[in-house]
A and B are shown apart, each in its own frame.
Chain A
C-alpha cells in the first residue's frame, strides 16, 4: 500500500461539499482510502487518528485543501488524484439552475452544449464572417445564410473549414437538408438514397421536390453558396460535398446542381466525378453535355430531367413514373388566344435558379431574352425596373433585397411589378414561381391572387387574353398545403405548371409564333 498526499494551497471548499467529495472519492475503484479536507486542526486530528498523517499534511494551513490517497501502488495513487481532480472540477447539469440558460456567443453556447454540431448564421453580412469563423473554430459545421460577404472572406472561411474537415455551406446559402432536417429554406421531402450538392438554393429545392414526386428520397442536401464554383473559390465545398456523399453508405446517387462553373473549377469537378464510385447526375443550368458525359457523369439539361435520371439510377421503375409530359393541346389553345402583338414572356421569380432555368429554356428559341441575372452584359437589363422584350427577373437578387426580406417571405415588390407587366400590351405570358416549404411565406399564391384576378379582368376589358403561368414548388408534406395553393391558383384563371421545367417550356411555347 502507498499513501500519497496532494496539498492544494489556498483552495477553499466548504465542509459539506467536501464530505460528498470524500464519499465519491472513496468509491473510485482503485482507491483503498481517500480523504479530502481543509487543513484545519480538527481535520488533522482525524487524519492522525486514521494513521495517514504525513509531514506534508502536518504543515498544511487552514486554507489549504488536503487530498490523501491510499492505493496499491504509486501509479494508482496518481490515477486516483486525476479522478479526484475531475470530481473537484466537474459540475452537474443542474448547475445551470432552473431558468433556461441564454447564450450570447457561439463559444459560450458550445461550452454549454458540447453536442452542438452545426451553426446556422443569418446576421448582417458585415458581421457574418466573424461569427462563421467562431463557429468553425469551435468545430461546428456552418450554414452561412448571410449574403454580402466578400469573396476573400468566403475563401478564408472555406479554407479553414477544409483544414478542419468541416462543412462551410455558404455564404448566401439558403437551402440544405442534413440528416432529414430541412435548414432555412427547404421543402419537406422523403428520406431516401439520393444525395445532392447544390450551389443554387431553389434549384436544389426543385430537384428534391421532383425526386420526391417521382417517389424517390434524399439523404443529404448540401448547399455550397452560389460562388463556390467561381475561379476564386475553386469549388472547395462542392468537392468536399461529393467526397462526403461518396463515403456516405446511405447515398446511392449524387446530384450536382449549379450554374456553369468557371472552366478551371469545372475541370476539378469533372475529375472528381470521373473518380467517384457512385453515379453522378450533373445539372449545371446552361451547361455542356459533352464534357460531363466524357467524365462519366450523367448530364441533365433541365431540373426535372435531373431528378428523373437520379431516381432511375437509384433504382426506380421507369414504367411506373408519371413524367407529366407537356400539355400540347393547351399550347395550341393559348397560342390561338394571344393576338399578334403579344410576343413576350415576362418571368417574375422569387427563386433565382427557377428564373435561370426558365430563362435558359426561352434562350433556346429567342435571342432577345433580357434579365437582371443575365451573364452576357449585352442582355442584362439596363434598368431593372423596366422590362425589355422577353424579360426574366429574379427578385431575390441583391438589387431587390437591399434592406428588404427575400421575396419568398415578402411578396410586395413582385406584386407591384406584376401589375406593371400585366398592363403591357406586348406581353403574352407572365410566368411566376411560388415557393413553399420551411422558411417561405405561409400563403404565397394567396398574396398574389387579387393582383392576378384584377389583371386578367383588365386585359379582358381591353380585349386581350393575358396568360399567367404559376408554378408551385412544394410537396404535400410542406405546411402550406400545396393542394390548396394549386386550387387557389386555378380558380384565378391561371395555368398551373407541374414543374419548374414545364413552367419554362409552357411559357416559351405559348408565345412562339409562326410554327
Chain B
C-alpha cells in the first residue's frame, strides 16, 4: 500500500506548526495533535537561515553528523580521574609568577568588572607582588601582569576564575584520551576571592590553603596510586540529588570520603588534618570545582573535530559570554554580552547589586550537568523558580538542543535517561532555545562576594556568530 493510502486508513496524528487554532479544531475532532513551540529559526535572520540551510545540505549533513557523533562519543567515553594536587606554577602549562588566569574569554584589566578586579588585586597581594590592594591595582594596570583565560591553559576557574602561581590545583587526567585539566581549590564560604572579596580574611584563607590544605591534599593523593574516578563519583552524586553545579552536598561527601583514608596517612598534625575536615564541612561547595575539571577534561577531548557543530566551552568573564565550538579548533571565541543572573538573593541585596554572569562553571552545563540535569536535583528547584515539574522540563528541554544522552551519567527521576549531551549550535539557532545555566551571583563591586544564586541563559549572539563561522568553515 502506498504511503498516501496508508494515511487514508491510519488514525490521523498531526504535528501542527504555526496557527494554534488549527490544533484546537483537530482536538475537537478527536485527532491526535502535537503543537510545536515554534519560533522562526535564527530569529528570522535570513543570513542565519541561509547558514542553517548550508549546514543541512545533503552534501554536508552526513559529515557533520559523523563529526558530531565522534565529538559526543569522546565526551561520553572520557574517563576523567583525579590524579593529584599541586601548585599552578608546577603544573599548569604556560604559568609564570606574574601570570594571572581568569574566567571566560580574553579580557583586559581595563574592561574587567568589579568582582574580577577585586579577585585580581587580592591574588596579587596573596602572591606578594604588591603590599596592598591599592598598589596591586596599580600593578595590574601597569602591563607587568599577564592576564590569560583559564581555558587557554587547560584550566577552568569558578566565578572570577582568578588563578595565580602558588595556588593549589586539582590535576585531572582523562584516562581514555590522555589530556589533563586543572582547576583551583574551593575557598568554600561566600566572602572569598573568586567572588571578588579580597580583605585580610580572604588572603589569610588563601595562605592557609597554600600552606596546609593544598599540601595535605597533594600528599594524600600521592598515597592513592589509582586516583579517584570522577565520572563514577559524579554519577553517584547525581543519583543522590546533586546537579553538581549549584548543589554539591552529595558530591562533597563522596569526595572527602574517598580522600579521607589518604589524608589521615599524611605526615601533617592531627590539628591540621582536623582543620581540613572542618574546612570541607564548612560548606557544601568543596567538590564544585572538581566537577568542573572533570567536565573540562572530557570536553577538551572533543574539541577540534573538523565539521563538528558541538559546543565545547561556555564561559563568562563578567563582561562577555564566550563559547568555543569543536569544529573550529584552538582558542577561537564567539562572544556576546554577559547577562544578569535571575534568582534568590541573600537578605539585604537587590538585583541591581548583582554583577553580570561570570565564571567558567558553565563548563558543567556544556557537559550536561548543572542546569541541564536539574531534574535530578529536586532539592534546589526553588533556584529555578518552583516545582519539580519545572526542573524536569528544564532537562527535557535541553534534550532538544543536544545531540544525545550520556548513558554513563543518568537521572533516576527520568527513568535513568542520560544527561543531555553535546549542545549542537544548529539546534540552538533552529529552535531559539538557549542553554540553561545554574550559577551563583557575585556582587557587582569588588570586595564583597557572593550575594545569591539562580539561572541565566547565554546571549544568543555568541551562538549566531559560531553558526556563521561554522557554515563558512564547513568542508
Contact = CB atoms under 8 A, between A and B. Distances in A.
Contacts of B46: 126
A179 B10 contact: yes
A181 B31 CA distance: 7
Interface stretch (A50-58, A107-115, A480-488): A107-115
Contacts of A219: 8
Interface stretch (A87-95, A271-279, A283-291, A345-353): A87-95
Output the residue of A97, A145, A182, A220 with the most chain B CB within 10 A.
A97
Interface in A42-84: 62-63
Contacts of A113: 13, 15, 32, 34
A135 interface: yes
Contacts of B417: 91, 95
Interface stretch (A10-18, A254-262, A324-332, A497-505): A10-18
A400 interface: no
B389 A102 contact: no
Interface stretch (A244-252, A307-315, A355-363, A468-476): A244-252
B438 interface: no
A99 B400 contact: no
A121 interface: yes
A435 B240 CA distance: 60
B418 to A, nearest CB: 10
A179 B11 contact: yes
Contact of B26 (A119, A181, A250): A181
A439 interface: yes
Which 4 residue pairs spanning A and B have beta carbons closest together? A122-B18, A104-B431, A244-B4, A97-B392
A19 interface: no
A127 interface: yes
B235 interface: yes
A118 B2 contact: no
B239 interface: yes
A104 B375 CA distance: 20
Given A184-B22, A439-B25, A97 B389 contact: yes
27 contacts: A13-B410, A62-B229, A63-B231, A91-B415, A97-B413, A105-B430, A113-B13, A116-B15, A117-B7, A118-B15, A120-B14, A120-B15, A120-B16, A121-B17, A122-B17, A123-B40, A127-B41, A131-B38, A135-B17, A141-B7, A179-B9, A179-B11, A181-B29, A247-B1, A438-B28, A439-B21, A479-B28
Given A94-B415, A120-B22, A250-B8, A108 B14 contact: no
B174 to A, nearest CB: 11
A62 B229 CA distance: 10
A10 B14 contact: no
Nearest to A438: B25
Contact of B410 (A17, A105, A118, A181): A17
A250 B417 CA distance: 44
A98 interface: yes
B49 A127 contact: yes
Contacts of B3: 139, 141, 164-166
Contacts of A375: none
Contacts of B28: 438, 479
A123 B232 CA distance: 46
A126 B390 CA distance: 34
Contacts of A124: 40, 44
Given A116-B15, A122-B19, A105 B29 contact: no
A10 B10 contact: no
Nearest to B81: A63
Given A108-B399, A117-B7, A247-B5, 8 more contacts: A104-B432, A105-B38, A116-B34, A127-B41, A179-B8, A181-B12, A240-B4, A244-B8
B13 A109 contact: no
B407 interface: yes
B396 A101 contact: yes
A391 to B, nearest CB: 31
B400 A104 contact: yes
Contacts of A130: 41, 49, 52-53
B397 to A, nearest CB: 7
B79 interface: yes
A97 B387 CA distance: 13
A50 B398 CA distance: 43
Contacts of A366: none
A118 B41 contact: no
Which bucket holds chain B's interface residue count?
A: 35 or more
B36 interface: yes
A98 B392 contact: yes
A455 interface: no
A108 B232 CA distance: 30
B331 interface: no
B28 to A, nearest CB: 8
A179 B12 contact: yes
B77 interface: yes
Contacts of B427: 105
Contacts of A479: 28
A509 B12 CA distance: 45
Nearest to A9: B77
A106 to B, nearest CB: 6
A465 B271 CA distance: 109
A491 interface: no
A101 B4 CA distance: 28
A109 B15 contact: yes
A145 B79 contact: no
Contact of A104 (B6, B31, B37, B235): B37
A98 B2 contact: no
Interface in B74-113: 77, 79
A378 B417 CA distance: 67
Interface string A313-351: 000000000000000000000000000000000000000
Contacts of A131: 17, 38
A353 to B, nearest CB: 21
B385 to A, nearest CB: 14
B178 to A, nearest CB: 14
B8 A116 contact: no
A135 B12 contact: no
B265 interface: no
A140 interface: yes
A184 B37 CA distance: 18
A98 B389 contact: yes
B129 interface: no
Interface in A149-180: 164-167, 178-180
A14 B235 contact: yes
A12 B8 contact: no
A183 B52 CA distance: 30
B329 interface: no
B21 A110 contact: no
Contacts of B79: 10, 63
A167 B22 contact: no
A253 to B, nearest CB: 15
Contacts of B260: none
A96 interface: yes
Contacts of B399: 108
A101 B29 CA distance: 22
Nearest to A143: B14
